[in-house]
Chains A and B, each alone.
Chain A
Amino acid sequence: MSEEKKVIVELDENPEYIINMGPQHPSTHGVLRFEVSLQGETVKYLIPHCGYIHRGIEKMCESLTYPQIIHLTDRLDYLSAHMNNEAVSLCVEKALDIEVPERVKYIRSILSELNRIASHQLWWCAFGMDLGGLTCFFYGLRDREKILDIFEESCGSRLLHSFVVPGGLMHDVHPNFKQSIRDFIKYFRKKLPEYDTLLTGNVIFQNRTRDLGIMSKETAISYGITGPSARASGFACDIRKVEPYSAYPYIDFKEILYTEGDTFHRYKARMDEMWESMVILEKLLDKMPDGNDYTAKMKPVIKLPEGEYFQRVETARGELGVYIVSDGNKTPYRLKLRTPNFSNLFVMNKLTAGYKIADLVAISGSLDLVIPDIDR
């Protein structure tokens, strides 16, 4: 009896108001759970709990051949399916020392940039929704539909393409490929300013995001943040620049860098990346060679020589690293994925402590988390 009383007293002296945001919550965008301790509306600390959508992709890969692995990588960050496919394909090609045709390199980069725009559009929709601007969702999806149509035309699939395979592409792109992308760029150049009119310039939006959740460059580096979230803090980590792959070495483009590191500039970095991606697309389309070769000569059964291989690419959310250990068989001995969202997630506690619940939602939205990519 006396013990029971003591517990009650302790609770009264040290009140903890803990709410579980998730695993089913509209603003975690998936099955992620934040254990949030509150004082009134202010966040005291936050513990992310992940693992609700763990499917054991890395382990599954150990019993699958390399072309089969491609289909699993789609399911990591489902909004960056092309980049994920490309990462594994590049790693396998590196191991086999295969040079893919020029045209394939261009198509891969073009698809990656399209995928980046589509991903940022969906992020914009969701970010607007997180802040309560419900109309954003439909504006973003309206334009994303145009990209998905291009994907459907050329890859046969809208979300999980599995189009990039070791050695090249699954099949050749649609004859309309170039024209439909040019049409899209023309269309989206007109529509993107609408995004700014609706959300960026809004005084409520500016007040809600400016000077919020400031991430210093040191924090970004020490937590391993990559992608637009890190570039908004001034950390130049664009793999397309640092370690160019596919067709990126052939063209010149700008890396979006800001030094403020607050939520607004994380937002701004992504918006500017959409503009920059369109410039990249145009340059790539201009230089893309004609022809119809879509794959290098590959053996029917791909066996990687014994050894360790690593390749990284820039997905829409940051650096995706693929590490393959091969023992000479047709399946990898071990495959490790360094996914961007896993690193980006754990800075949440540092950024949100001391802010309100509404800010928590804004900050987690600005980090652009995709939950299946965290859990693998």
Chain B
Amino acid sequence: MGYQKYDLAPLTHSIDQYLYSHLSSTWAFLAEMTLIGVVFLIFYAVIGLYLVLAERKVCAFMQNRIGPNRVGWYGVLQTIADLFKLLLKELITIRKADKLLFNIAPFIVIIASFLGIAAIPFAMGLHAIDFNIGIFYIMAVSSVGVVGILIAGWSSNNKYSLIGAMRSGAQIVSYELSVGLSLLVIVIYSGTLQLSTLVESQADGWWIIKGHIPAILAFFVFVTAGTAETNRGPFDLAEAESELTAGFHTEYSGIKFAFFFLAEYMNMFLVASVAATVFLGGWMPLHIPGLEGFNNAMDFIPPIVWYFGKTAFVIFLMMWIKWTFPRLRIDQLLNLEWKYLLPINLVNIVVVALIVLMGWYIK
């Protein structure tokens, strides 16, 4: 296939071999870990900051405004300036807060999102850890974040925060089901939990096209449930500004607040990445079996561009939803999950199992 000329595996392997040939195996391993950690940290910070900027620009576009345009060209340095402002702010710990938990909470939230990003295949060969249970791993670590939110709400010793945390707990635990079940649809189709194999399996068409109706349904359920899991509007009940002022992070200031803020955006990025990888083919270019010329043309676009393009599309979809819809009420939110999304998902899975057994999908 033409896209293989962009394979980054030789590059990563040469770095690996270089380190192992010059260092003892323990040090080489540590050096690799450090390298990956630093790269991810920078990647995380840059993506997080620019997602905030993107959101501000998109929301300005939706609201007939210009958005940030003073710091840097078209405001590109705005969020970096904001970061420095947040770094310089006083970290307020309120008197009757549970100090230990209060300080731990932002780290739990940010670590959870950090862990999830590690398993995403960004391009061919650009993949930090390639588990054989990749999807399962992402789901498991991303749901750790709710513990941080619950701790933040509880330890703040603020009634509004507690209500926010309570809502968030109920919400994330419920929507976790839909996220898992909608991903299971594609897992049944492809027969693998490993993300790299999953991407390879879409070389002759993305699952959203190959899997026809059940896959399209699962994609929409996943985006809805994913939005809910990241506490974004219209499911932002945990921080419902007009009801709970700021919900679980009311009492946080400075960089600790920034951690929650950044984690929210990175969770959004994670959900969009998973949606892009599982349903839209990840870094795999668009291929239509039989059209050789078209496929070759598509292969000229590097996989990393495909990956970020698809992720950006899903992120834009999520922002669009957020800036258009009013917020749901807590009982409506839970009704939506337990009375609509979950039954739809269960039926969907049965249908998919039948389709796969009968071989009715495009192989």
Residues of A within 8 A of B (CB): 17, 19, 25-27, 38, 41, 128-135, 137-139, 142, 198-199, 202, 204-205, 207-208, 356-361
- Given A25-B245, A359-B329, A361-B242, A132 contacting B236 (CB threshold 8 A): yes
Measured in the bound complex, the distance between the Cα atoms of B243 and A361 in whole Å is 7
B90 close to chain A: CB less than 8 A: no
Of the candidate stretches B4-12, B61-69, B111-119, B149-157, the one touching chain A is B61-69
- Given A41-B163, A205-B326, A358 contacting B62 (CB threshold 8 A): no
Interface residues in B191-242 by Cβ distance below 8 A to A read 233-234, 236-237, 240-242
Measured in the bound complex, the distance between the Cα atoms of B326 and A358 in whole Å is 12
Q: A residues within 8 A CB of B332?
A: 204, 207-208
Contact assessment for B331 and A356 in the assembled complex, using a CB-CB cutoff below 8 Å: yes
B57 close to chain A: CB less than 8 A: no
Chain A-chain B contacts (Cβ-Cβ < 8 Å), number: 83
A-B contact pairs, 8 of them (CB 8 A): A19-B160, A41-B330, A131-B326, A132-B241, A132-B327, A356-B329, A356-B330, A357-B243
Measured in the bound complex, the distance between the Cα atoms of B329 and A360 in whole Å is 11
Measured in the bound complex, the distance between the Cα atoms of B236 and A204 in whole Å is 14
Interface footprint category on B: 20 to 34
Contact assessment for B242 and A26 in the assembled complex, using a CB-CB cutoff below 8 Å: yes
Measured in the bound complex, the distance between the Cα atoms of B63 and A129 in whole Å is 13
CB closest chain-B residue, reference A203: B325
Contact assessment for A132 and B324 in the assembled complex, using a CB-CB cutoff below 8 Å: no
Measured in the bound complex, the distance between the Cα atoms of B323 and A205 in whole Å is 14
Q: B residues within 8 A CB of A356?
A: 329-331
Q: A residues within 8 A CB of B63?
A: 134-135, 137-139
Measured in the bound complex, the distance between the Cα atoms of B62 and A363 in whole Å is 27
- Least CB distance from B326 to A in Å reads 4
Contact assessment for A358 and B64 in the assembled complex, using a CB-CB cutoff below 8 Å: no
Contact assessment for B242 and A204 in the assembled complex, using a CB-CB cutoff below 8 Å: no
Q: A residues within 8 A CB of B328?
A: 204, 207-208
CB closest chain-A residue, reference B332: A207
Q: B residues within 8 A CB of A17?
A: 159
- Least CB distance from B25 to A in Å reads 54
Contact assessment for A139 and B325 in the assembled complex, using a CB-CB cutoff below 8 Å: no
Q: B residues within 8 A CB of A130?
A: 242
Q: A residues within 8 A CB of B234?
A: 132, 204
- Least CB distance from B278 to A in Å reads 27
Contact assessment for B240 and A134 in the assembled complex, using a CB-CB cutoff below 8 Å: no
CB closest chain-A residue, reference B246: A26
Q: A residues within 8 A CB of B326?
A: 128, 131-133, 199, 202, 204-205, 208
Interface residues in B118-172 by Cβ distance below 8 A to A read 159-160, 163, 167
Complex partner residue of B325 from A26, A27, A137, A204, CB under 8 angstroms? A204
- Given A26-B241, A41-B163, A139-B64, A358 contacting B329 (CB threshold 8 A): yes
Q: B residues within 8 A CB of A132?
A: 233-234, 236, 240-242, 325-327
Q: A residues within 8 A CB of B236?
A: 132
Measured in the bound complex, the distance between the Cα atoms of B240 and A360 in whole Å is 13
Contact assessment for A202 and B245 in the assembled complex, using a CB-CB cutoff below 8 Å: no
Measured in the bound complex, the distance between the Cα atoms of B237 and A139 in whole Å is 23
- Given A27-B242, A27-B243, A131 contacting B327 (CB threshold 8 A): yes
Contacts A19-B159, A132-B240, A358-B243 supplied; 9 other A-B pairs, CB < 8 Å: A19-B163, A26-B245, A38-B163, A128-B326, A132-B326, A134-B59, A135-B63, A198-B324, A202-B325
- Given A25-B245, A358-B327, A138 contacting B240 (CB threshold 8 A): no
- Least CB distance from A90 to B in Å reads 37
- Least CB distance from B335 to A in Å reads 9
Contact assessment for B243 and A133 in the assembled complex, using a CB-CB cutoff below 8 Å: no
Q: B residues within 8 A CB of A38?
A: 163
Q: A residues within 8 A CB of B243?
A: 27, 357-358, 360-361
CB closest chain-A residue, reference B160: A19
Contact assessment for A135 and B330 in the assembled complex, using a CB-CB cutoff below 8 Å: no
Q: A residues within 8 A CB of B237?
A: 358
Q: A residues within 8 A CB of B330?
A: 41, 356, 358
Ranked 8 nearest A-B pairs via Cβ: A132-B327, A133-B326, A138-B63, A131-B326, A27-B242, A358-B329, A132-B326, A19-B159
- Least CB distance from B248 to A in Å reads 15
Measured in the bound complex, the distance between the Cα atoms of B160 and A38 in whole Å is 11
Interface residues in B242-264 by Cβ distance below 8 A to A read 242-245
Interface residues in B317-339 by Cβ distance below 8 A to A read 323-332
- Least CB distance from A364 to B in Å reads 10
Measured in the bound complex, the distance between the Cα atoms of B332 and A137 in whole Å is 24
Measured in the bound complex, the distance between the Cα atoms of B327 and A202 in whole Å is 11
- Least CB distance from B52 to A in Å reads 16
Measured in the bound complex, the distance between the Cα atoms of B240 and A130 in whole Å is 9
Q: B residues within 8 A CB of A358?
A: 237, 240, 243, 327, 329-330
Measured in the bound complex, the distance between the Cα atoms of B233 and A199 in whole Å is 15
Task: Name the residue in A131, A358, A359 with the highest tally of chain B Cβ atoms < 10 Å from its Cβ.
Answer: A358
Q: B residues within 8 A CB of A202?
A: 325-326
Contact assessment for A135 and B324 in the assembled complex, using a CB-CB cutoff below 8 Å: yes
Complex partner residue of B163 from A25, A135, A199, A357, CB under 8 angstroms? A357
Contact assessment for A138 and B163 in the assembled complex, using a CB-CB cutoff below 8 Å: no
Using an 8 Å CB-CB cutoff, how does the interface string of B40-67 with A read, 1 for contact, 0 for none? 0000000000000000000100111100
- Least CB distance from B334 to A in Å reads 11
